[in-house]
Chain A
């Protein structure tokens, strides 16, 4: 075996130019596969990071009916669903790897119902009643004024905080702090402005995405959860935000919270009507987006595969030439006692060595190319080590497959004919 390998390398080295040209197909094929796989991996990592992670790791769990969010903006709270109790809240905080738990109530408000007004402007956007953990759990940062204080909750102070979106809609470039909002006829003093630290650029690809992100344009207004019953009802089922220790915990925490909340908050009657708590599984969404980008890239992989096929045929062609050129060598070796299998192995090894070298060079070129792409175009790439191992093994396999016919031809040569050929 070792003899064959060293013989194979001698053969390849003996025809440097020809060997390199033969390898070129394999090099190009493997290089493009490595580049594509690196790009896929880089893009996936980026999707996962920007959509889910980005430091917040927040899982939102909300009441839903028949798997779609039950939005209280348009409907009354259902019978048999109770607000989250102190005890349930405690249980949520005790789930593994939960860093923070926040409760909130939510309304989509429209200018025509004038629920929220600022001077003459009827506000259209999102209104949240939040507890003290909400900003931390969701990754909001105070940019002006102050945060909600203990007293704001205990003394039912009518204060509000805007996000930068709402602030610019209602106050333009002027400072919102100190301004007055009217919510359901009651005046609220604006004490601060927050902004989302993890801004992710959402790509709207479906109606569902549109519903999810488009209505964020009006911005958000926050008031203390304690004030919510003044504006709306006191017995509304709240939504929950859980901050996970790491991105990988998110799906599990979401499910555990779903189970806990569904079991403790929802009566049998209500659950028969399809009510349940559901987490917005961002991991799942990320996986779907990743799937879409993978589908495109898989087509590219097929094209790269074709170049490998062409490379393989090139190897077969050159190996057939080599066998013809070395007919006398084969004849002599058979005459002095080489068995058929020995000759077969010699040429198979040579073909496999040729394509393996091509594979290694291709991997090097592919890694270089992906580095170049990430620096030149700013597209993220991440080199995948399993892909490199597979690529090298696969190129070796190509050598074995496409070297088979020439090797069999060599092994079958009749020594008399082979020696007679001058």
Chain B
């Protein structure tokens, strides 16, 4: 099992009250899975995403990622896990505006301690994989939204992560570019990548192999009667 969440709760203090953002979440993901988590805004899906992405720690419950108990990891160790095990794709790309596409893609390797020449070589390969081999030295503002998101996906994939996390990856794109990005996800999944995708668009969610809905902090059971982990 790549990921196991058991009885995860997350509370945020808000003034005097405590708001329960996540309530007793149970989730398992196997290698090669392609899961979409759908929910309206405010349902807690971004918090769940942060939790899966080791950007946030649960108030209670256990989380095992790649066989390791995350709930007790130190901040530095969490940073290392994010670097080596996870890849992130965000709604608004988050490319650094003063770096070229190739340098942006190479950035995670810097924190992994890879030598510069090797970093750039691997970044070129990753950009070729997402079909942007011709635009290595373009600055982000010289690229269209869809191209920028593909650069971001190349950056997420450069460390060969165990799990690719995408938060509303098509949210800022027109439908044609969104289509291209979704095709790319399909292609990556077909190549063996495990993907968790968060969205509120049913059309996007429908393309995943599995679909879970989240509502008011509760992760609903899998649709189509399949129980968790048996999809």
Mark A317-349 against chain B: 1 for CB-CB distance below 8 A, else 0: 000000000001101111111111010000000
The total of chain B residues at the interface (CB under 8 A) is 24
Contact A416 B107 (CB under 8 A): no
Mark A383-422 against chain B: 1 for CB-CB distance below 8 A, else 0: 0000000000000000000000000000000011001001
Closest Cβ of chain B: how far from A332's Cβ, in Å? 4
Interface size class of A (residues with CB under 8 A): 20 to 34
- Check A332/B55 contact, CB under 8 A, given A337-B84, A342-B111: no
Closest Cβ of chain A: how far from B160's Cβ, in Å? 13
A-B contact list, 16 entries, CB within 8 Å: A10-B98, A14-B98, A332-B90, A334-B79, A334-B82, A335-B55, A335-B88, A335-B94, A336-B111, A338-B79, A338-B111, A339-B79, A339-B80, A339-B111, A416-B55, A416-B56
Mark B110-142 against chain A: 1 for CB-CB distance below 8 A, else 0: 111000100000000000000000000000000
Residues of A within 8 A of B55 (CB): 335, 415-416
Residues of A within 8 A of B111 (CB): 333, 336-339, 342
Mark A337-375 against chain B: 1 for CB-CB distance below 8 A, else 0: 111101000000000000000000000000000000000
Cα–Cα, bound, A284→B76 (Å): 61
Cβ-neighbour of A337 out of B56, B112, B116 (below 8 A): B112
- Check A336/B75 contact, CB under 8 A, given A416-B55, A419-B94: no
Closest Cβ of chain B: how far from A350's Cβ, in Å? 13
Residues of A within 8 A of B116 (CB): 3
Residues of A within 8 A of B96 (CB): 329, 332
Closest Cβ of chain B: how far from A319's Cβ, in Å? 17
Cα–Cα, bound, A334→B108 (Å): 10
Contact A340 B76 (CB under 8 A): yes
Closest Cβ of chain B: how far from A286's Cβ, in Å? 57
Closest Cβ of chain B: how far from A148's Cβ, in Å? 83
Cα–Cα, bound, A422→B91 (Å): 12
Cβ-neighbour of B94 out of A14, A332, A340, A416 (below 8 A): A332
**Residues of B participating in the A interface, judged by any CB pair closer than 8 Å:** 50, 53, 55-56, 75-76, 79-80, 82-84, 88, 90, 92, 94, 96, 98, 107-108, 110-112, 116, 155
Contact A328 B94 (CB under 8 A): yes
Tell me the interface secondary structure of chain B in the complex: helix
Closest Cβ of chain B: how far from A418's Cβ, in Å? 10
Closest Cβ of chain A: how far from B95's Cβ, in Å? 8
Cα–Cα, bound, A335→B94 (Å): 11
Cα–Cα, bound, A196→B116 (Å): 72
Cα–Cα, bound, A422→B172 (Å): 13
Contact A336 B88 (CB under 8 A): yes
Cβ-neighbour of B82 out of A14, A336, A340 (below 8 A): A336
Residues of A within 8 A of B80 (CB): 337, 339
Closest Cβ of chain B: how far from A338's Cβ, in Å? 5
Cα–Cα, bound, A1→B88 (Å): 26
- Check A337/B83 contact, CB under 8 A, given A342-B111, A416-B55, A416-B56: yes
Residues of B within 8 A of A333 (CB): 107, 111
- Check A337/B50 contact, CB under 8 A, given A332-B96, A416-B55, A416-B56: no
Closest Cβ of chain B: how far from A329's Cβ, in Å? 6
Residues of B within 8 A of A422 (CB): 92
Cα–Cα, bound, A335→B165 (Å): 11
- Check A340/B75 contact, CB under 8 A, given A10-B98, A332-B94: yes
